[in-house]
Amino acid sequence: MARRTPVAHTITATVAAWIVGFVIFFPILWMVITSFKTELEAFNTPPSFLFFHWTTENYATVQERSNYLHHALNSIIIAGGSTLVAMVIAIPAAWSMAFVPSRRTRDILLWILSTKMMPAVGVLVPIYLIFRDLALLDTRIGLLGILCLSNLPIVVWMLFTYFKEIPKDILEASRMDGATIGRELVYVLTPMAVPGIASTILLNVILAWNEAFWTLNLSTSEAAPLTVFIASYSSPEGLFWAKLSAASTLAIAPILVLGWFTQRQLVRGLTFGAVK
Amino acid sequence: MGSISLQDVRKTFGSHVVIPGANLQIEDGSFVVFVGPSGCGKTTLLRMIAGLEDVSSGRILIDGANVVDVPPAKRGLSMVFQSYALYPHMSVRGNIAFGLKMAGLPRPEIDRKVDAAAAILNLTSYLDRKPRELSGGQRQRVAIGRAIVREPKAFLFDEPLSNLDAALRVQMRQEVTRLQRQLKTTAIYVTHDQVEAMTMADRIVVLNAGSIEQYGTPLELYERPANLFVAGFIGSPRMNMIERETEQHQGAATIGIRPEHMTVSRDGAGWSGIVRAAEHLGSDTFLYVDTPDIGSITVRCVGELGLGEGDSVRLRPDPARVHRFDKSGTAMR
Amino acid sequence: MATQQGRTLGRLMLSPTIILLFIWMIVPLAMTIYFSTLNYNLLNPGMENFAGLDNYYYFLTDPSFLAAFRNTLVLVGSVLAITVVFGILIALLLDQPILGRNVVRLMVIGPFFIMPTVSALVWKNLLMHPVSGLFAWIATSIGLQPIDWFAEAPMLAIILIVSWQWLPFATLILLTALQSLDAEQREAAEMDGARSLSTFLYITLPHLARPITVVILIETIFLLSVFADIFVTTGGGPGLQTTNIAFLIYSQALMHYDVGTASAGGLVAVVIANILAFFLVRIVGRNLEA
CB-based contacts of C187, cutoff 8 Å, min separation 6 = none
Q: Please tell me the predicted confidence (pLDDT) of residue B106.
A: 93
Could you tell me which residues come within 8 angstroms of residue C116 by beta carbon, excluding any fewer than 6 positions away? A210, A212, A227, C165, C228, C229
Instruction: Indicate the range of A92-101, A124-133, C36-45 predicted with least confidence.
Output: C36-45
> Comparing B146-160, B217-231, C190-204, which segment has the lowest mean pLDDT?
C190-204
Check whether C2 has a pLDDT greater than 60. no
Share of chain A above pLDDT 90, in %: 26
Whether C112 and A207 have beta carbons less than 8 Å apart is answered as no
Separation between Cα atoms, residue B49 and residue B68, nearest integer Å: 8
Give contacts of B 122-161 with C, CB under 8 A. none
pLDDT-based confidence at residue B20 (cuts at 50, 70, 90) = very high
Q: What is the mean pLDDT of residues B264-276?
A: 89
Which chain A residues are within 8 Å of C24, Cβ to Cβ? Answer: 115, 149
Residue A96 has pLDDT above 70, yes or no: yes
B135 three-class SS: coil
Q: Is A24 in the C-facing interface, judged by CB distances under 8 Å?
A: yes
Mean pLDDT of chain A: 86
pLDDT of residue B190 exceeding 50: yes
Question: For residue C163, is pLDDT > 70?
Answer: yes
Give the CA radius of gyration of chain B. 24
Distance from CA of B80 to the nearest CA of A (A): 8
- Radius of gyration, CA atoms only, chain A: 23
Quote the pLDDT of residue B24. 94
Question: With an 8 Å Cβ cutoff, are B103 and A178 in contact?
Answer: yes
Least confident window among B88-102, C32-46, C141-155:
C32-46
Q: Give B82's contacts in chain A (Cβ within 8 Å).
A: 169
pLDDT at B27 over 50: yes
Three-state DSSP at B5 gives strand
Touching subunits of B (3+ CB pairs, under 8 Å) are A, C
Please tell me if residue C3 touches chain B, with a CB cutoff of 8 Å: yes
Q: Is the pLDDT of residue A1 over 60?
A: no
Residue range C95-124: average pLDDT?
88
pLDDT tens across A161-216, in order?
889 888 888 989 998 998 887 888 888 988 898 888 988 898 899 889 999 999 99
What pLDDT score was predicted for residue C1? Answer: 46
Residue of B nearest to C4 (CA): B54
C107/chain A closest Cα distance in angstroms: 5
Residues on chain B touching A172 (C-beta within 8 angstroms): 52, 72, 79, 81, 85
> Rounded mean pLDDT of C22-32?
87
Range in A127-136, C168-177, C234-243 the model is least confident about: C234-243
Q: B88 vs A183: CB contact, 8 Å cut-off?
A: no
Query: Cβ of C32 and A122 within 8 Å?
Result: yes
Chain C residues with CB-CB distance to B71 below 8 A: 3
Q: Per the CB < 8 Å rule, is C176 touching A217?
A: no
Q: Can you tell me the mean pLDDT for A23-28?
A: 93
B89/A172 Cβ within 8 A: no
ipTM for the whole complex: 0.84
User: What pLDDT, on the 0 to 100 scale, is given for residue B149?
Assistant: 92
Could you tell me which residue, C54 or A132, shows the higher pLDDT? A132
Query: Taking CB atoms and an 8 Å cutoff, what residues of chain C touch A34?
Result: 126
Q: Do C2 and B71 touch (CB under 8 A)?
A: no
Confidence (pLDDT) at A220: 87
pLDDT of residue A57: 84
Q: Minimal Cα distance from B72: which residue of C?
A: C1
| C2 touches B: beta carbon within 8 Å | yes
Query: Is it the case that residue C20 has pLDDT exceeding 60?
Result: yes
| Average pLDDT for A97-125 | 85
Q: Which of B50, B83, B87 sits opposite A188 (nearest CB)?
A: B87
Residues C137, A47: C-beta atoms closer than 8 Å:
yes
What pLDDT is attached to residue B289? 92
For A99, A159, B224, C11, C18, the CA distances from A105, given in Å and listed in that order, are 11, 14, 50, 10, 12
E-state strands within A103-230: none
Cβ-Cβ contacts under 8 Å between A and B: the total is 60
The residues, any chain, with a CB within 8 Å of residue A14's CB and separated by 6 or more, are C98, C99, C100
**Which amino acid is located at C62 in the chain?**
D
Q: What is the mean pLDDT of residues C67-83?
A: 91
For residues C284 and A86, the model is more confident at: A86
Inter-chain touch C284–A124, beta carbons under 8 Å: no
Q: Mutate one of C1, C3, C4, C9 to test the B interface: name it (highest B CB count within 10 A).
A: C3
pLDDT tens per residue, range A102-115 = 888 888 988 888 88
How does the average pLDDT of chain C come out, rounded? 83
C1 contact B CB<8A: no
Instruction: Tell me which chain B residue has its CA closest to the CA of residue A191.
Output: B89
Q: Is the pLDDT of residue A2 over 60?
A: no
Residues of chain C neighbouring A118 (CB-CB closer than 8 A): 25, 29, 270, 273
Rounded mean pLDDT of C43-68? 74
Whether pLDDT at B43 is above 90: yes
Q: Are C152 and C174 in contact (CB under 8 A)?
A: no
What kind and span of H or E run contains A30? Answer: helix A7-35
Q: Would you state the pLDDT for residue A153? A: 92
**Would the CB atoms of B81 and A169 count as touching at under 8 Å?**
yes
Q: What number is the average pLDDT over the span C187-191?
A: 77
**Which residue on chain B is closest to A167 by alpha carbon?**
B85
Q: Which of B73, B77, B78 sits opposite A179 (nearest CB)?
A: B73
B297-308 pLDDT per residue, tens? 999 999 888 888
| Nearest chain C alpha carbon to A87 | C17
Question: Chain A residue closest to B100 (CA)?
Answer: A177
Higher pLDDT, A99 or B68: B68
All residues of chain A having their beta carbon less than 8 Å from the beta carbon of residue C136 are: 45
- Choice between B333 and B296, residue whose per-residue pLDDT is larger: B296
The Cα–Cα gap between A270 and B23 comes to 52
More confident residue, A114 or B274: B274
- Phi first, then psi, for residue B269 (nearest 5°) are -75, 165
Whether pLDDT at B271 is above 60: yes
Mean pLDDT of chain B: 91
B chain contacts of residue A175, beta-carbon cutoff 8 Å: 51-52, 71-73
- pTM (predicted TM-score): 0.78
The partner residues of B314 in beta bridges, in order of sequence, read B265, B272
What count of Cα atoms within 13 Å lies in the side-chain half-sphere of residue B245? 2
Confidence of residue A37 (pLDDT cuts 50, 70, 90): confident
> pLDDT (tens digit, 9 = 90+) per residue, B121-157?
989 999 999 999 999 889 999 999 999 998 999 999 9
- Best probe of the C interface among A124, A216, A270, by most C CBs < 10 A, is A124
